[in-house]
Structure 1
Amino acid sequence: MTDSSHGEPHHSGLGARLNWLRAAVLGANDGVVSTAGIVVGVAGATDSRTALLTAGLSGLLAGSMSMAAGEYVSVSTQRDSEKAALAMERRELRETPDAELDELAGLLEGKGLSAELAREAAEQLTERDALRAHAEVELGIDPDDLTSPWHAAGASFAAFTAGALLPLLAIVLPPASVRLYITVLSVLAALAMAGWWSARSGAAPVRPAVARNMVGGALAMAVTYGAGALLGAAGV
């Protein structure tokens, strides 16, 4: 007989890892598109390797810091809300334990358990760890595994930087005669891979995701290259 109590945490952990991996891919995707748009735009105005490197590095640093700061603020707000909710649960468990037991039994009954079994499960969970039981069933929070804003910020910074390095290296390393072609092709290939992975990890159709990603990146590069070419021709 299979023990379902052992399968559930494994599935939950796998889902959390897939969510983190999907976020990393999307962060890298942002790094690819934004940095490619910058360096291709500059390439439309000048073939100076110094100018391309300066623009690319500036875009990489600005984008990665912006992503990290935004993720830090977002996760910090979420963590503060979770900690406040846990503090409220502690107070309610201390002040009105019977009402909280009734509430937990009702929540378990709402998940499909019979009234008697829900009551018995609520009593056992409360005896074992009342706060954890309410946090997981009522709030969907693991009190011992709150997301770290520093980890989230670091992951966003690393993912964006990894993605941004591709167009930056592709535009500054090759000879001037082929650097634009190499950059465009490598960016489109990276976007195709990112679209494929995001679709597969989310169990979505692959072709539309890949096509959207590639078309969006190609459009961004075309627009910025056109703007750079116009400015270069105007001598700005």
Structure 2
Amino acid sequence: MTEPTHEEAHGGALAERLNWLRAAVLGANDGIVSTAGLVVGVAGATDDRSALLTAGLAGLLAGSMSMAAGEYVSVSTQRDSEKAALAVERRELREQPEAELEELTELLQDRGLSWDVAREAAVQLTERDALRAHARVELGIDPDQLTNPWHAAWASFLSFTVGALLPLLAIVLPPTGWRLAVTVLSSLAALVLTGWSSARLGAADPVRASLRNVAGGALAMGVTYAAGTLLGAAGV
């Protein structure tokens, strides 16, 4: 009989996947809120379609590029830190292998193993791949799966863009009298979805997260619309 295949993601792979999904959801959420707030604010001052489209596109491009650049810089710093930590560990393994073996044994003991079992496991792990063993147990790093700044940048760029497209299209496609209502309602509905999704990924209460998300988005649109209306009335 053939043994059943087991394709589930475990440990770091699962955590990494959840982190990417959560980042994508939050990026889309930022795209919705920032772009909806921008176009609703402009709509408070003018109903000119070209002005709304220009403002929405500018907000989409500026926001997506800013998100991508921020993620690239942040993840590049994290990757540099991971590489530096691995370099230190590699040097310590070369210069003081016995001390590193003792350290690995103690770390495994801290995870609930007896000294004998921890020692045997540490010896076997060291013989197989000492650097990988210390990276995973001591540093929490998988040397084969270091964070990739380009992946993070593209993921942020795309997720923000997808989120921003909804309010942008909602403000320019409907007839003039329907634009504001369609934009607000569709944006709030999308915020319910992103709030629910982020809560499910984080094992939190989806109702509370969705309500919090909607409240924040509604506040942002309300403030920018009031500001746009005041500026429009003042002829600015």
Output the TM-score relative to the length of structure 2: 0.95
Instruction: Report the Cα distance in structure 1 between the residues aligned to 2:202 and 2:114, rounded to whole angstroms.
Output: 34
Shift of 1:228: 0.3
Shift of 1:8: 8.8
Deviations 1:88-144 (A, max 9, x none): 111011111111111100100111000000000000000000000000000000001
Structure 1 equivalent of residue 74 of structure 2: 74
Deviations 1:171-202 (A, max 9, x none): 00111010110000000000000111111111
Structure 1 equivalent of residue 197 of structure 2: 197
The 5 Å alignment of 1:1-236 reads 10-236=10-236
Gaps of 5+ in 1: 1-5
- SS of 1:81's equivalent in the other structure is helix
Q: Which amino acid aligns with 1:127?
A: E
Shift of 1:207: 1.4
Deviations 1:32-89 (A, max 9, x none): 0000000000000000000000000000011001101110010000000000000011
- SS of 1:178's equivalent in the other structure is helix
Shift of 1:17: 1.3
Deviations 1:202-227 (A, max 9, x none): 11111111111001101100110010
Q: Which amino acid aligns with 1:129?
A: D
| Percent of aligned pairs with the same amino acid | 77
Instruction: Report the Cα distance in structure 1 between the residues aligned to 2:200 and 2:84, rounded to whole angstroms.
Output: 36
Moved more, 206-215 or 7-16: 7-16
The change in CA–CA distance for 1:112 and 1:71 in structure 2 (over 3 A counts) is: same
- SS of 1:177's equivalent in the other structure is helix
Instruction: Report the Cα distance in structure 1 between the residues aligned to 2:151 and 2:19, rounded to whole angstroms.
Output: 14
- SS of 2:177's equivalent in the other structure is coil
Structure 2 equivalent of residue 3 of structure 1: none
Shift of 1:11: 4.7
- SS of 1:129's equivalent in the other structure is helix
Q: Which amino acid aligns with 2:164?
A: A
Instruction: Report the Cα distance in structure 2 between the residues aligned to 1:77 and 1:206, rounded to whole angstroms.
Output: 32
- SS of 1:214's equivalent in the other structure is helix
Instruction: Report the Cα distance in structure 2 between the residues aligned to 1:151 and 1:169, rounded to whole angstroms.
Output: 27
Instruction: Report the Cα distance in structure 2 between the residues aligned to 1:197 and 1:17, rounded to whole angstroms.
Output: 14
Instruction: Report the Cα distance in structure 1 between the residues aligned to 2:189 and 2:20, rounded to whole angstroms.
Output: 22
Shift of 1:235: 0.6
The change in CA–CA distance for 1:54 and 1:71 in structure 2 (over 3 A counts) is: same
Instruction: Report the Cα distance in structure 1 between the residues aligned to 2:18 and 2:151, rounded to whole angstroms.
Output: 16
Shift of 1:12: 3.8
Q: Which amino acid aligns with 1:154?
A: W
- SS of 2:175's equivalent in the other structure is coil
Structure 1 equivalent of residue 3 of structure 2: none
